[in-house]
Amino acid sequence: MSLAFTKMHACGNDFIVIDDRAGRFAGAETELARRLCRRRLAVGADGLLLLRASPAPDRFGMVFVNADGLLGEMCGNGARCLAAWLRRAGLAGADSRLETLAGAVPVRFDGAAITLELPPARLLRSDVAIPWQGRDWLFDEVDLGVPHVVSFVADRAALRQAPVIALGRHVRQHPQFAPRGCNVNFAALEGGRLHLRTYERGVEDETLGCGTGATAAVLAAQRRFGLPAKVEVVTCSGESVWIEHAPDAPPQLSGGAHFVADGRVAPDLLDGLEPAR
């Protein structure tokens, strides 16, 4: 069995992109992600993106699977990567739209930048106290179709010292956020910009960037600090994204996407995989 792939990243959040418009791997997405996303043992990535066909013109299905096989509702960095792949392939039109489990995501191309109109967001709760190692950490809960929580720290120095992995693992599975769990973000406001670190469910580790996490942090920061409608978010990779969110409007996420390599998967990585026929 031969399989072509493209390796991409946005803000250091890396993905394997596969053209599966024929539905060859329908029903086998979880196992495919687990095999291909393993670091050092396979291609390696934070997640797998499968392109699926849609009956409507300029509409494309996007299946996002985390490295551990968890089917994700949507991924902002991944959606920009898939949109860039579609543009390079000559498939993307001016009114392209990605159909995700979180809803439809319109795509706009602005030179090298790709802008996504994300599903409507809901600020669910503020200052949810999670005890950990002798102190309460406060989190704001935001639903973008993808579940997020955000904790604000004093400055970038505190952000560098934040226990993102240990505390993120604890909060991600906490009963307060059951049954879906959540992505766990830590943010610091400096000079009008937000700086962000994220522990991602499904990767079960800190990643270099998270697009929906950046969006969740901006929405929480707008309510908490009165930030303007458009905010720059600096990810752990050093690359920025821009979030625009006006009252009663869906949030918009803008940033780049980068090609790393095109290749073919070695057949033995697919041995025994049973895709739908």
Same domain, 85 and 127: no
Distance between CA atoms of residues 277 and 275, nearest Å: 6
Q: What is the mean pLDDT of residues 116-137?
A: 95
Tokens 């950046």 -> residue: 214
Q: Which pLDDT tens digit goes with each residue over 142-174?
A: 999 999 999 999 999 999 999 999 999 999 999
Same domain, 61 and 167: no
- Residues labelled as active-site residues: 75, 210
Same domain, 135 and 228: yes
Distance between CA atoms of residues 16 and 7, nearest Å: 5
Portion of the chain with pLDDT greater than 90, in percent: 91
Beta bridge partners of 66: 47
- Which CATH number do you get for residue 8? 3.10.310.10
Distance between CA atoms of residues 200 and 183, nearest Å: 5
Q: Does residue 44 lie within any of the structural domains?
A: yes
Structure tokens at 180: 């879906």
Q: Residue 255: which of 206, 209, 224 has the closest Cα?
A: 209
Q: Which helix (H) or strand (E) holds 77?
A: helix 76-88
Same domain, 77 and 127: no
Name the domain count of the chain. 2
Q: Residue 274: which of 64, 13, 5, 35 has the closest Cα?
A: 35
The more confidently predicted of residues 272 and 59 is 59
Q: Residue 171: which of 188, 187, 184, 185 has the closest Cα?
A: 184
What's the domain range around 30?
3-109+258-267
Predicted local confidence at residue 275, as pLDDT: 57
Task: Give 105's contacts (C-beta < 8 A, 6+ positions apart).
Answer: 62, 74, 79, 97, 98, 99, 116, 117, 118, 119
Q: Does residue 273 lie within any of the structural domains?
A: no
Same domain, 230 and 262: no
Q: Does residue 277 lie within any of the structural domains?
A: no
Same domain, 92 and 150: no
Same domain, 98 and 180: no
What mean pLDDT is reported for the chain? 95
Q: Does residue 116 lie within any of the structural domains?
A: no
Q: Does residue 114 lie within any of the structural domains?
A: no
CB 197 within 8 A of CB 164: yes
Same domain, 91 and 134: no
Same domain, 101 and 133: no
Q: Which pLDDT tens digit goes with each residue over 56-87?
A: 888 999 999 999 999 999 999 999 999 999 99
